Structure 1
Amino acid sequence: MKLLLISANRERDPYPVFPIGLSFLVTPLTQAGHDLTVLDLCFEKEPEAAVSGLLAEHKPQAVVISLRNLDNVTWPESRSYLSGVTNLITICQTHAPVIIGGSGFSLMPLEILAATGADYGVVGEGEEILPRLLSYLEQGLDVSGLPGVVHGGATTFVPSLPVSGVGTPERSLFKVGHYHQEGGMANVQTKRGCPFFCTYCTYPLLEGRAVRLRPIPDILAEIRSLVDDHGVSYLYFVDDIFNYPPAFAADLCRAMVAERLPVKWSAFINPDFMTPELMDDMLAAGCDAVEFGSDSGSPAMLKSLHKSFTVEDLRRASLLCHERGMDFAHYLLFGGPGETRETIMESFSLMDELQPTAVIAMTGIRIYPNTVLYRTALHDGLITPSTQLLEPVFYISPHVKDFFADLITSEAMKRRNWVAPGLEVNTSSAMLDAIRLFKVKGPLWKMIKSLGRSHHRPLGGC
């Protein structure tokens, strides 16, 4: 079949993100004999015109749309992407049936399929089931029994199955250099699956709890291709936790050293598994910054959010970074179940003690179905079973809702190294665009060291 693959993501804050999920589909679709055309809407000034043009030019027999996120997951300045995707689907359906998938779609597949009017949907990983769905469609077969496939009017579907082996993304149809130039880094995934139990997290829902590792030679070959074929000099490992399993992370780092790969990189780290030996391996392999998914500096909140580590683990991991000169950021989530003024101030106090390069503070926690946080929100009366979650809904503890934004803003403004995206503290779209003009490589939060003072754009201001 002639297929048009569309990456619907147009979000560029804080970085434009290469559509790695869609690139994983290229090889299995090509091997199944399909003729592919790719349209990435991230840098298109007129996306609907771009879609219409390719539909007329290539006349695809089916359109596959990848939905990475439903919204920007930021309170109170939230942006939903659903209406834009619905418009794209309407345009495409004048030419061919539309199949929608991606991590955003997989969170609420039946609801999104009904809201957007797409013809079919693929839940979870699509490398194996999407070629089967296309084969069924070509033969006119009933698709209702295919695992992970939903179709118009369906109220249930057979659960999706994880792929038997994680392959290698094929990037040749995409503008990799554009992302490296505009976003300062290229993304690499080394594994799928998350065995942890954070109350709000969707990774186990999307990828399962069993960790599936990619072969290290395949990862090295991918990085070598990014360097040699696309001029990439900085990587971001997009695994939910780079350093788990620790032995795999260490083996990968040592292999990168042996391969003499000329790249710098950063990754998301769990402090519970950070040892001096692993950090030395990471430094030797080119790591120059790490991001901790800390969530809170309060022992009570770490327990409430079902984190696997303690405040002492945060102290120990931060000290390792200081001792080795590693830039590091702590990501915090404020407002979860049980959050109070006292627990908020515990987080500020701990960050003052740890002195990271940056603190990224997210306010409110996005509620998704089938998570522990969803059940807590139901129990606490913040939502009901009929609450529509396609548009962003956030958990904000009843104990802090009356002063939440003001407290976070006022305290963050006292500290040069804090960034609060939803509250526009030390960040805004205009500020990020200005920083990108300097062609910064790596996380933009590293630039916070050069800020003379804290900046804040009041909500609703210019």
Structure 2
Amino acid sequence: MDILLISANREKSPYPVFPLGLSYLAGPLAARGHRLRVLDLCFADDPDAAVSEALLDFMPAAVVISIRNIDNVTFPGSRSYLPGVRKVVDLCRGKAPVILGGSGFSLMPVELLAYLDGDYGVVGEGEEVLPELVASLADGASPRSLPGVLVKGEAGCLPARLVQNIGPAERSHFTVDRYHREGGMANLQTKRGCPFTCIYCTYPILEGNSIRLRPIGEIVAEIRSLVDGFGVSYIYFVDDIFNYPPEFAEELCRAIIAEQLPINWTAFINPAFVTPSLLNAMIAAGCDAVEFGSESGSAQMLRNLGKSFGVEDVRSASRLCREQGADFAHYILFGGPGESEATIDESFSLMDELEPTAVIAMTGIRIFPGTPLHDAALADGVITSRTSLLEPVFYISPPIRETLCRMVTERALARKNWVAPGLEINMSDAMLEALRHFPVRGPLWKLMKRLGRSRVKPM
């Protein structure tokens, strides 16, 4: 069967992100003998024309559209991607059955299948079930019995099935070199699943709460293929938490060192699982920057957000990074349940003490169904049971809802290492374009050391 795979993501801020989810589908489909054409809309000058041309030229028997995100999860500068995705679906409708999937789709699959008017939807990981769905379509059989498969006009689906043997991404159909050149890095996944209970997080919904580890030898081989096959010199490990389990992370680092892979890399890490031994191994393996999902500098807010660590863990991990000379950034989420001016000041005070390379601050927390934050938003009257979450809706602690952005802006502008994307403090599309002229690999926040005073809007 001829199958057109479309990556619908067009967001390039802060940098274009390689469509890893879609690349995981390409291998299993090709292994079943299907002929594939990939259309990546991220770099398309005219996405409508690109879709129409691919449909006419390839004449696929099925179209698979991967939806990475449904919006930019940024307040107050939020923007939805759904109208653009719907246009893609409209162009495909009637040409071939349209199958929707991806992490963004799986957050609200029933609502999105109806809104986008697709024919089928795949909830969760698709490596195993998508080939089965395609086979059922080819045979004229009903896919209703397949786990995680939605059918247009029919209610619900069986629970999605988690993939136990996670294979390597199949990147040969994609422009890896362009993502590396314009985005400054390639991406790679070492595990799936998250056992932690942050109240806003969708990882447990998408990947389950049990960790599934990939074989270390396979991960090292995939890194080698990126280096030798695509000229990659910088990698971002996209795991929710790279350093958990810590023993696995250290073993992987030792394997990278033994293989003498010529790469640098960065990852999100949990401050509760940073030890001198692990950090030394990470740096020796090429890690030159780490990102902490700290979310707050207030002990009370860390508890409210369901974090697995405390303020002292944040202090200790930051101190180790500074002592070892690794750049590090803290991500802060302002506005969660119980946030007040006092807890905001605690976060700024702790960041002043720790002196990270950068602080990336988000105001408001995007509400997704199925999370504890959704329940809190209902209880606090931030939303009602009738509120549509297809459009970006953010939780902001009711007492500071009208003042949060002003308070964060005033404080962040007094500090040169703070970035607040939604408020355009040291972050805007024009500034990102300017920063990309620096010869840098890895996250752009590493360049904060070269910037002068904090500012609103671009330079």
Q: TM-score under structure 2 normalisation?
A: 0.99
Match of 1:451 in 2: 451
Residue 187 of structure 2 is matched in structure 1 by 187
Counterpart in 2 of 1:148?
Answer: 148
Cα-to-partner distance string for 1:303-333 (whole Å, 9 max, x where unaligned): 0001000000000000001111110000000
The alpha-carbon deviation at position 431 of structure 1 amounts to 0.4
Q: Deviations over 1:169-225 (max 9, x none)?
A: 010000000000000000010000000000000000000011001111111111111
Q: Equivalent residue for 1:164?
A: 164
Structure 2 counterpart SS, 1:196: coil
For 2:277, the equivalent position in structure 1 comes to 277
> Shift of residue 439 of structure 1?
3.9
Q: Find the aligned partners of 2:385 and 2:396 in 1 and give their Cα distance.
A: 18
Question: What is the aligned partner in structure 1 of residue 87 from structure 2?
Answer: 87
Offset, 1:154: 2.3
User: 1:231 and 2:237 equivalent?
Assistant: no
State the match for 2:63 in structure 1. Answer: 63
Counterpart CA distance in 1 for 2:300 and 2:333 is 13
SS in structure 2 at match of 1:399? helix
Amino acid at match of 1:207: E
CA-CA distance at 1:155 after TM superposition: 2.5
Do the aligned partners of 1:181 and 1:439 also contact (CA within 8 Å) in 2? no
SS at match of 1:96: coil
Matched residues in 1 for 2:19 and 2:36: separation? 15
Structure 1 range deviating more: 252-261 or 88-97: 88-97
Correspondence 1:255 to 2:278: no
State the AA in 2 paired with 1:271.
P
Deviation larger for 218-227 or 150-159: 150-159
2:399 alignment partner, SS class: coil
**Match in the other structure for 2:72:** 72
* Identical positions, percent: 64
Q: Is the 8 A contact 1:365 1:395 kept in 2?
A: yes
State the AA in 2 paired with 1:279.
L
Which aligned pairs between 1:300-311 and structure 2 lie closer than 5 A? 300-311=300-311
User: Hey, what's the Cα distance between the residues in 2 that align with 1:35 and 1:352?
Assistant: 55
- Helix, strand or coil: the match of 2:229? helix
SS of match in other structure, 1:433: helix
- Correspondence 1:407-418 to 2 at 5 A: 407-418=407-418
Q: Deviations over 1:114-149 (max 9, x none)?
A: 000000000000000000001111111111221100
Match of 1:12 in 2: 12
Task: Give the residue type in structure 2 aligned to 1:333.
Answer: L
Q: Does 1:178 align with 2:178?
A: yes
Residue matched to 1:396: 396
Cα distance in structure 2, aligned partners of 1:293 and 1:103: 20
Which aligned pairs between 1:361-376 and structure 2 lie closer than 5 A? Answer: 361-376=361-376
Amino acid at match of 2:225: S
Which residue number corresponds to residue 38 of structure 2?
A: 38
Q: In 1, Cα distance between the equivalents of 2:23 and 2:218?
A: 15
* In structure 2, distance between residues paired with 1:2 and 1:213: 32
Output one character per residue of 1:399-423: Cα deviation in whole Å (capped at 9) or x when no partner.
2112111110010000000000000
Structure 1 position 11, deviation (Å):
0.4
Name the counterpart of 2:318: 318
Equivalent residue, structure 2, for 1:198: 198
Matched residue type, 2:118 = A
SS class of match (1:329): strand
Residue identity matched to 1:181: R
The one-letter code of the counterpart of 1:98 is V
CA positional deviation for 1:438: 2.5
Taking the TM superposition and a 5 Å limit, the aligned residue runs for 1:114-129 are 114-129=114-129
* Residues 414 and 454, structure 1, Cα contact 8 Å, conserved in 2: yes
SS across alignment from 2:248: helix
Structure 1 contact 184–439 (Cα < 8 Å) conserved? no
Match of 1:346 in 2: 346
Distance between the aligned counterparts of 2:231 and 2:298, measured in 1? 43
Q: Distance in 2 between matches of 1:440 and 1:279?
A: 22
**C-alpha deviation, 1:93, in angstroms:** 1.2
Deviation at 1:164, TM superposition (A): 2.3
* Runs of at least 5 residues in structure 2 that lack an aligned partner in the other structure: none
